Amino acid sequence: MASIAVYSVKGGVGKTTLAVNLAWCAASISRRKTLLWDLDAANGSGFLLGIDPKKKRSADSMFADGSDPERLIQPTAYTGLDLLPADESIRAIDRQLDRIGKKKRLAKLTAHLGKNYDRIIFDCPPVLNELSAQIIRAANLVIVPLPPSPLSARAFDVVVDEVRGSGKGHPPILPVLNMLDLRRTLHRQAREANPTWPAIPLASAVEQCAVERRPVGAFAPRSPASRAIAQLWTAIERKLST
């Protein structure tokens, strides 16, 4: 099992859309049994997959009382892809983690879930707190989506500092130029400065994910965006194997 965090301290960078599409690639292209774990209270991953959270139990219950997280998992419309959805209760999870004082609670939950999954992908909230620290401890790889802008570059530096600050065994970081539009000077300059970074183009197909409530590979498999995301997933698998 390998766990992958899609993380940024800046909102509006396409994090959730990327997490959903990478999870779809893991299940549909690599045929990996995959769990997409939504840790953002907005439940964006569930929305993009056409899934609403169950109301019987809140998403924070697995942290609060040690309940089995598998009871919260919901299947998706895609073979091999399940969702551990978020809800409003996640907003208070940082305080809860501080209160229980277990620094590796999320890592232990991940290891438990990893008995049934080959890949676990975290859709992370744009925060810098105890939850983000626990996500980094649990991850084998951190993916950082970066729309080409000075603010995104600054946010990337913050993520790098946080990940490296977690200790010698910190996970590797893979920056991804996201929503790249080479017609724009700033975007071209960002691409020229980082030619080896994976890149996802600015594309209407990606924007349509929120309308279709499906991953782009499921409804536009031949689009440039779908091919770029698949290439990114190949790079991720290669990174995990080294």
Q: Over its length of 242 residues, how does the chain's per-residue pLDDT go in tens digits?
A: 999 999 999 888 999 999 999 999 999 999 999 999 999 988 899 999 998 766 656 777 777 656 678 888 999 999 999 999 988 877 877 777 777 666 788 999 999 999 999 999 999 998 888 888 899 999 999 999 999 888 888 888 889 998 988 777 789 999 999 999 999 999 999 999 999 999 999 999 999 999 999 999 999 999 999 999 999 999 999 989 87
Burial 210-235 (b: 16+ CB within 10 A, else e): eeebbbbbbebeebebbebbbebbee
The reported pLDDT for the residue numbered 101 is: 62
Model pLDDT, residue 55: 61
**pTM for the full predicted model:** 0.93
- According to the model, what pLDDT value does residue 54 have? 65
User: Which run of H or of E encompasses 38?
Assistant: strand 34-38
Q: Is the dihedral of CA 56, 4, 157, 163 positive or negative?
A: positive
Count, in order, helices (H) and strands (E) of the chain: 12, 8
Residue 146 pLDDT: 93
pLDDT of residue 100: 67
CA angle centred on 150, ends 124 and 230, rounded to 5°: 50
Helical pair 130-138 and 150-164, crossing angle rounded to 10 deg: 70
Per-residue confidence (pLDDT) for residue 57, from 0 to 100: 60
Per-residue pLDDT, 75: 96
Element (H, E) at 53: none
- Cβ-count burial of 57 within 10 angstroms (0-12 exposed, 13-18 middle, 19+ buried)? middle
- Residues sharing a CB contact under 8 Å with residue 221, sequence separation 6 or more, in sequence order: none
For the beta carbon of residue 169, count every other beta carbon within 10 angstroms: 6
